[in-house]
Amino acid sequence: MSMPDHPRLIDLSADTATRPSEAMRLAICAAPVGDEQRGEDPTTLALEERVAALLGQEKALFLPSGTMANQIAFLVHCRPGDEIVCAENAHVFGSEGAGAAVLAGAQFRPIDTATGIFTVADVASRLRAPRHRSPHSRVIAIEQTTNRGGGRIWSEEAIGALKGLALEKGLALHMDGARLLNAAVVTGLPAARFAAPCDSVWIDLSKGLGCPVGAVLAGSAGFIEEALVWKHRLGGAMRQSGILAAAGLYALDHNVERLAEDHDNARRLASALATVPGLHVQPEGVVTNILFLDLAGTGVSASALAGVLAGEAIRVNVEGQNRIRMVTHLDVSADDVEVAGSAIIAALARLRPDQSGG
Ligand SMILES: *Cc1c(COP(=O)(O)O)cnc(C)c1O
């Protein structure tokens, strides 16, 4: 097992770094299973019913990944030539291999927004007049919480306003809810308050919830009926998927309220780092489990800092020349965060060009 001179990795690179706990593994072992592709896996069906209710939607569909959930939603909502309005830093725009273009034949109309949040006016100004030569505006896609926007939360009011525009203009409102439950825990609001107005919405099981695999896509009965066709076409239909769904049910019982610890840890880390001169952290903007460090004012490159930290068994995500992303999750403790914070402060002090002359 772990050697004393090889400390356990503190992995702040993503909340996908979680490993299933012993208790989750026991739940997986005990799961009743059947053939999911024939609709006969009782644990998968139970998870789907549970998530549909959680999100205030009629039906839900268990999928291998969140990426597939986004792609299936676009395949159902769009025809080739349609356009999806989203944030410029959205996962759907930059991190899914241009899947909407490849699969649904749709293109994006991105909105430049640092936080990933945008307004009704932002969307309205990007909708196309119906003309034979124009792309057909079809979907508004939002991320709850905003991953590369720093884990920011879309308010119920902002979502309601977008829904109003969507209804008026005949658009679908899609929520990439990879971290929707983080938003629910912070605000104390039921997830359905954010999710019910959406025409399609999904949660990821393999991020902060700590499951090994899976996402659950929800919507109206009609939407899910079409989504099921695409799930099969894309090869997402499974067999005894109850062993995966059991982890999801376990996580919904045990790993939701504890997301508050991740948020506390992220805020604590941000506050500790905010004392470093030249380091831009914005602790007041750290509302969930994601924080960005802007190193431009320190003269230290993101890769240099990440390299030093890697040598101390601390992993962070390099997002650009001066930008590092860190994400807290259930395999990162309050102590880990303290260790990481001290290591970052020490590394920056050593690496700073203005310190080298002594
Ligand atoms: C991780 C993530 C996805 C993709 O989910 P996978 O389950 O990894 O495919 C989509 N959107 C956001 C915002 C994410 O953070």
> Helices marked H in the chain — which ranges?
22-30, 42-54, 66-77, 91-94, 99, 120-124, 156-169, 180-187, 191-195, 221-233, 242-254, 259-273, 302-311, 334-351
Given ligand 1 and candidates 71, 92, 144, 147, which is best to mutate, with the most ligand atoms within 8 Å of its CB? 147
From the alpha carbon of 67, which atom of ligand 1 is closest?
9
- Report whether 223 contacts 201 (CB < 8 A): no
The reported pLDDT for the residue numbered 77 is: 98
DSSP for residue 218? E
Q: Which domains does the chain have, with CATH numbers?
A: 10-16+258-351 (3.90.1150.10), 31-254 (3.40.640.10)
Q: What digits encode the pLDDT tens for the residues 167-199?
A: 999 999 999 999 999 999 999 999 999 999 999
CB-defined site of ligand 1, < 6 Å: 65-67, 91, 143, 147, 176, 178, 204, 206-207, 215
Q: What digits encode the pLDDT tens for the residues 205-263?
A: 999 999 999 999 999 999 999 999 999 999 999 999 999 999 999 999 999 999 999 99
Distance CA 282, CA 152 (A): 12
Query: Measuring from atom 8 of ligand 1, which residue has the nearest CA?
Result: 66
pTM of the model: 0.96
pLDDT above 70 for 357: no
What separation in Å is there between the alpha carbon of 92 and the centre of ligand 1? Answer: 9
| Residue 311 CB partners (closer than 8 Å, separation 6+) | none
- Report whether 329 contacts 259 (CB < 8 A): no
Distance CA 39, CA 108 (A): 34
Count of CB atoms situated within 10 Å of the CB of 214: 25
Distance CA 42, CA 193 (A): 28
Residue 156, classed as helix, strand or coil, is helix
Residue at 76: amino acid letter: V
DSSP for residue 100? I
What separation in Å is there between the alpha carbon of 143 and the centre of ligand 1? Answer: 10
Within 13 Å, how many C-alpha atoms sit on residue 73's CB side?
A: 35
The reported pLDDT for the residue numbered 16 is: 96
What separation in Å is there between the alpha carbon of 1 and the centre of ligand 1? Answer: 31
Count of CB atoms situated within 10 Å of the CB of 30: 11
What separation in Å is there between the alpha carbon of 344 and the centre of ligand 1? Answer: 27
What separation in Å is there between the alpha carbon of 102 and the centre of ligand 1? Answer: 18
From the alpha carbon of 206, which atom of ligand 1 is closest?
7
pLDDT above 90 for 75: yes
From the alpha carbon of 204, which atom of ligand 1 is closest?
7
The reported pLDDT for the residue numbered 4 is: 53
Categorize the per-residue pLDDT at 283 as very low, low, confident or very high, splitting at 50, 70 and 90: confident
Q: What digits encode the pLDDT tens for the residues 16-66?
A: 999 999 999 999 999 999 999 999 999 999 999 999 999 999 999 999 999
Mean pLDDT of 144-149: 97
pLDDT above 60 for 165: yes
